[in-house]
Chains A and B, each alone.
Chain A
Amino acid sequence: DVKVTQSSRYLVKRTGEKVFLECVQDMDHENMFWYRQDPGLGLRLIYFSYDVKMKEKGDIPEGYSVSREKKERFSLILESASTNQTSMYLCASSFLQGTNEKLFFGSGTQLSVL
């Protein structure tokens, strides 16, 4: 079974702190994604990566950056945490065969910024 592991299930940080959310997958997937999920807004794409060292902005990249130094690891960085970044963060990985793609999600990190 594919396993996508997020480093923390719950995280509490203070405004202005630099926050690192780590995600590791064990299936050699090329594609990795970071989403945030807020009530009524669904899953919104923050950043994605289709290869090592490659990163692309999603729909809401402001206030975030990412790092993908190794294929299995995709990190999300909040440069200076703000209260509006309180959310559930979901990491996912996949491989794409033609148009067929299945995302495998981690268990999520509930981040609270105080």
Chain B
Amino acid sequence: QKEVEQNSGPLSVPEGAIASLNCTYSDRVSQSFFWYRQYSGKSPELIMSIYSNGDKEDGRFTAQLNKASQYVSLLIRDSQPSDSATYLCAVRLFSGGYNKLIFGAGTRLAVHP
């Protein structure tokens, strides 16, 4: 089982809809969770971090964390074509004596007008 799993997509949504991106992780003691956005040909950039169960909102983005189910999600409200990108879930976990940030393979989101 991969440490961080995401559906590769593409996830296609119409402009103005809610895009829902999901991520599961294997390490029960993970405490920190992140969403990075990567435009085609560019480097990843951090858009959200979440540490506690529940929801965290930032503008049109909401991160949701459920540690019991080992599940973290990202909701994008009022999706825009400019949101079209690959979204990478990252989980901080303790492995080999060190804290490491492990990324999922990413979900490609396509927002069509």
Contact = CB atoms under 8 A, between A and B. Distances in A.
Interface of A: 33, 35, 40-45, 48, 50, 56-59, 90, 96, 99-103, 105-108
B56 interface: no
Give me the 4 closest cross-chain CB pairs, A-B, nearest first: A42-B105, A105-B43, A43-B103, A99-B32
Contacts of B8: 40
Interface residues of B, number: 24
Given A45-B100, A99-B51, A108 B43 contact: yes
A48 B52 CA distance: 27
B105 A40 contact: yes
Contacts of B31: 99
Contact of A101 (B32, B45, B88, B105): B32
Given A42-B105, A43-B103, A99-B32, A56 B98 contact: yes
B26 interface: no
Contact of B44 (A40, A43, A96, A101): A43
A101 B101 CA distance: 9
